[in-house]
Amino acid sequence: TAPDDCPPDREVLGRATWTFLHTMAAYYPEKPNEREQTMMKSLLSSFSQFYPCGHCAEHLRDEMKKEPPKVASRMELAWWMCGMHNKVNTMLGKDEFDCNKLDERWRDGPSDGRCD
């Protein structure tokens, strides 16, 4: 891998972006109001226009057409995001992530306390 002060390649950008997206979903309101739901839809739609990996963004837009973002609650958004990421994982030949472990991975940390 290139040194830290080089522009990000697709992998580095991808890891940073998934960290942001899953963490954002993990802290989305449990009961978002109408305005928050509209803003989240708009954020994701804009994101899929401007994500700076052209073919990744195109693939994401296709998937979002088939399965539009679910923004009615924190859990719905987190699981939707997990599903989107798993589609990319499958396409790249990586293992699927167990979406039951979302909060442990992105919000609460493991029960052994090693991340506290």
Interacting residue ranges for ligand FAD, rule: CB under 6 A: 10-11, 14-15, 17-18, 22, 51, 55-56, 59-60, 82, 85-86, 88-89, 92, 94, 97, 102, 105
Least Cβ distance, residue 116 to ligand FAD (angstroms) = 18
Assigned token pair, 66: 């088939």
Least Cβ distance, residue 113 to ligand FAD (angstroms) = 18
Q: In this complex, which beta carbon is closest to ligand FAD, that of residue 40 or of residue 102?
A: 102
Q: In this complex, which beta carbon is closest to ligand FAD, that of residue 34 or of residue 112?
A: 112
Q: In angstroms, what CA-CA distances link 58 with 29, 31, 114?
A: 28, 30, 38
Q: Could you tell me where the DSSP H helices lie in 27-107?
A: 34-50, 54-66, 74-91, 102-103
